[in-house]
Amino acid sequence: MTTVVEAFGKPHVNVGTIGHVDHGKTTLTAAITKHYGNFVAYDQIDKAPEERKRGITIATAHVEYQTETRHYAHVDCPGHADYVKNMIVGAAQMDAAILVVSGVDGPMPQTREHILLAKQVGVGYIVVYINKADVADPDMIDLVEMEVRELLTKYGFPGDDVPVVVGSALKALEDEDSEYGKKSIEKLMEKLDEYVAVPPRPVELPFLMPVEDVFSISGRGTVV
C-alpha cells in the first residue's frame, strides 16, 4: 500500500483559512500559492459567478502547495455568516487552520464563530495571521493579537502558545519584498512547519472516502 509520504514525496498536512468575511482569507490563499505552489489567482479561487459578483467566498476552494519539508492541501473557507455550513464542511477536513484576522477591524462575529466551530469539528492546531498590517495602527495590531489570544484560550486552544504572524496578504500577493509582504508569508509557512504536528494516517485500515457535497448540474446529472 502506498503511504502518504510516498504519494507526495514528503509528509502531508491538510490546512485551511478561516475567519470573518473580508478579512483577507482568499487573498492570503492566493499569496501562499504564489510563493509556495502553482499560483492560483484570487479570481480563480473565488471562481463561481455569484462569488465574483458579490466579492465574497461562498463555496470552499481547494489548492495545494509545499514547503521544503511538507506538502499541504489547503481549503479556503467562506467567512460570511450565510455560508457557515460550507465553512463547517471545509473545517472538518483540516488538521490545522490559519485564522485570518484584520489588523484594522480585530476579531469580528465570524472570527469567534469559526474558532468555536474549528474546535467542535476537531481542528487540532491554529496559526494566526493578522492581516492588513500595512494600513493598521501598530498599537491596534498589538491589541488585536491580545484579543485573539484571549478568544483562542476561551474556546479551548492554547492561546498563549499559538504562533501569530503579522503581515499584508495583498502586499505579499503583489510580490513586495518587505516584512509585511513576502517575508510574512515565509514566516507563516515556517510557523506551520514548526507548530503543526504531522497527524497519524490510519493507512492500514479500510479505505474511507468522505463525500463533501452532491450537486445536480443541468446537462450533467448528479455530481458527487
Local confidence pLDDT in tens for the 224 residues of the chain: 444 554 568 999 999 898 998 899 989 999 999 999 776 765 665 444 443 343 434 355 678 999 999 999 888 776 434 444 555 555 557 899 999 999 999 999 889 998 998 898 889 999 999 999 999 999 999 999 999 999 999 999 999 999 999 999 999 999 999 999 999 999 999 999 999 999 887 778 898 777 777 878 777 788 77
Residue 209 grid coordinates: 472516502
pLDDT at 93: 72
User: Which residue is catalytic, options 80, 119, 183, 187?
Assistant: 80
Max Cα-Cα span within the chain: 55
Mark whether 132 is an active-site residue.
Answer: no
* Beta strands 125-131 and 96-102, pairing class: parallel
pLDDT at 2: 47
pLDDT at 189: 97
Mark whether 25 is an active-site residue.
Answer: yes
CB 154 within 8 A of CB 147: no
Please name the fold of domain 4-197+210-223: Rossmann fold (3.40.50)
Mark whether 80 is an active-site residue.
Answer: yes
Count of CB atoms situated within 10 Å of the CB of 68 = 8
User: Which residue is catalytic, options 20, 25, 34, 182?
Assistant: 25
Cell 493578522 found at: 130
Residue 189 grid coordinates: 509557512
User: Which residue is catalytic, options 26, 27, 29, 33?
Assistant: 26
* Beta strands 71-76 and 61-66, pairing class: antiparallel
pLDDT at 44: 63
Q: Looking at the chain, how many residues does it have?
A: 224
